[in-house]
Amino acid sequence: MLSCKRNVLSQIMKRTKKNKKKLRKKTLIRNQNPQFEEEESAAEEEGDRGEGFSLKSSAPSHSHGVQPLGNLFLSPSTSNSRITGLGNLRILTDELVLDILGFLGGSHLGVLATVSKSFYVFCNHEPLWRNLVLEHLKGDFFFNGSWKSTYISAFYPSFPVLNNGSSDLKVRDFYSDYLFQSWLCASLEMKREWLERDNIERRRGISVEEFILNFEEPNKPVLLEGCLENWAALEKWDKEYLTEVCRDVRFSVGPVEMKLEDYFRYADRVREERPLYLFDPKFAEKVPILGSDYKIPLYFREDLFSVLGGERPDYRWVIIGPAGSGSSFHIDPNSTSAWNAVIKGSKKWVLFPPDVVPPGVHPSPDGAEVACPVSIIEWFMNFYGATRDWKKRPIECVCKAGEVIFVPNGWWHLVINLEESIAITQNYVSRRNLVNVLDFLKRPNASELVSGTMDRTNLYDKFSSAIEATFPGTIDQLVSKAEETAAKQKKPSFWESVTDAKVGQFKFSFGS
């Protein structure tokens, strides 16, 4: 069953100030950083504006006592052990040092860790060990509490490894923004105010026509309640059931494939900034009973890509992940619309309409790449505040078990699991977005943009001819209807906006 400790959402709702103070005592950071504490209490006075963060109650202090660079100015000693400890490498940034260490194998990292306190801290940076584990073991790792201990127990099984972090050395004078930030993001809980805004429209028991008229046609998101009543999955799906039914079948988890038992073992224990996320587009093909445990809600039954049969792009995924996992801002591929149903757990959603680029996100002009350099938690820390003062506020909600969210085509969205969650999502094309999808597939850079299929450049031809064959005349009908509407609204089509590629295409960006 889902452990209570991981239920971040309920923890936040229940927390009182008293508990907050208790938290402070546990963590080294607070005690050593008077400035940090000041900011926290100032924050509580002002209400929401402060920089204070609450750490997950299961997070120990940074296991090696790393502090952010700002602390150096306040500490009585003026030395940063980084200077002598890195020797000639001290002129390099933390990221570059880690780039170098990324080329070292496990035993060499181990040796390097004993060279100096600074290298001790660097060499214990978990992402380094995660890369080694994934590179050498792929999806067949037995997660042992940390990536480092996972690596050691796999390659040096006779070596006794202690699982908790309490055996690690506490380094006193080490200051590093990068390493501290990395730990902070891994240990952070979602702040209450990030979860407060819930302005999505909610509906229960509406008809398909109502849905199309009020939401699908005008391309508006909506949260639908009560339409998963007939889902066996809601009753049956938990870790035990899934592990039993899926046994040795492997599912896509980031760069590797894993058995569910191994993945759950990892998800139960991990605490990192960007946890591995199970996201599999062939789950129903791999384990057919999973496909029969759920039914597509009424509203989304029109599924035009089905005319392509086995050649259709990926369209349905099972999504499983621990608290903190999720997807940073993106627009769904092929200009499709989507629905996302939570079976277990809960997800926080932040959505922006197609013409509003979220703060901190930088799409390339051709749309092929989206640079969102920060992790999800970092986005909340650095950019969420900006959304509050803008007229074009995002749509936000927390989607709980039994609820389904409709994500209209072209909308930017970010999702974060607030606790361990299991969900199913499907992307689809109906007559309402068929024209958009065809436009998208027609684009000159379709080979880079189209996703979910091996046959990118021909998808347009295949799809449009298949539609014409199955529903003759539909395409022309819809295209002329769309042109009519566009003429009325005087909205520039993609083709017209191409000429303005460098100038103001994304007019409503936030700041720099």
Partner 1 sequence: MASAKVFVLRTCDGETFEIDESVAYVSETIKNMIEDGFGHDLIPLPNVSSKILLKVIEYCRKHVSNFESSKKTSNGDEKDKDNDSWKKEKEAVPEVEKDAEEKARVEELKEWETTFIDIDQQVLFDLLQAANYLNIKGLLVMAAEKAASMIRGKTPEQIRETFNIKNDFTPEEYEDIRKKDAMNDFTPEEYEEIRKKIADNHFTPEEYEQIRKENAWAIE
Work out how close the CB of 355 gets to partner 1 at its nearest, in angstroms, rounded to a whole number. 23
Q: How far is the CB of 417 from partner 1 (least distance, A)?
A: 32
| Nearer CB in complex with partner 1: 16/114 | 114
Q: Which is nearer to partner 1, 141 or 300 (CB)?
A: 141
CA distance 456 to 80: 53
Which residue's CB is nearer to partner 1, number 149 or number 426?
149
Question: Minimal distance in Å, beta carbon 266 to partner 1?
Answer: 23
Amino acid identity at 397: C
Tokens at residue 455, please?
């046959």
Q: Which amino acid is at 103?
A: F
User: Closest separation between CB of residue 449 and partner 1, Å?
Assistant: 14
* Contacting residues toward partner 1, per CB under 8 A: 81, 84-89, 91-93, 95-96, 99-105, 107-120, 152, 155-156, 158-159, 162, 167-169
**Other CB atoms within 10 Å distance of the CB of residue 253:** 24
CB nearer to partner 1: give 47 or 157.
Answer: 157
Taking the complex as a whole, the smallest distance from the CB of residue 271 to partner 1 amounts, in Å, to: 20
- Nearest to partner 1 of 171, 429 (CB atom): 171
Q: How many other CB atoms sit within 10 Å of the CB of residue 30? A: 18
Handedness of CA 469, 473, 475, 476 (dihedral sign): positive
Closest CA to 262 of 185, 157, 155, 154: 154
For partner 1, give the closer residue by CB, 16 or 78: 78
Q: CA nearest 134: which of 275, 269, 12, 240? A: 275
Determine contact, residues 86/97, Cβ cutoff 8 Å: yes
Q: SS3 for 443?
A: coil
Query: How many other C-beta atoms lie within 10 A of the C-beta of residue 149?
Result: 18
* Helix 474-489 with 459-470: angle, nearest 10 deg: 110
Beta carbon nearer to partner 1, 386 or 501: 501
CA-based nearest residue to 320, from 300, 344, 350: 344
Phi, psi (deg, nearest 5) at residue 243: -60, -40
Which is closer to partner 1, CB of 10 or CB of 84?
Answer: 84
From the CB of 138, what's the least distance to partner 1, in Å? 22
CB of 265 to partner 1, least distance (A): 23
Tell me how far, at minimum, the Cβ of 173 lies from partner 1, in Å. Answer: 9
CA angle 452, 458, 463 (to 5 degrees): 75
Cβ 361 to partner 1, closest distance in Å?
17
Secondary structure (3-state) at 400: strand
- Count of positions (residues) in the chain: 512
Q: Are 269 and 145 in contact (CB under 8 A)?
A: yes
Residue closer to partner 1 (CB basis): 85 or 360: 85
> For residue 35, which of 9, 2, 73 has the smallest C-alpha distance?
73
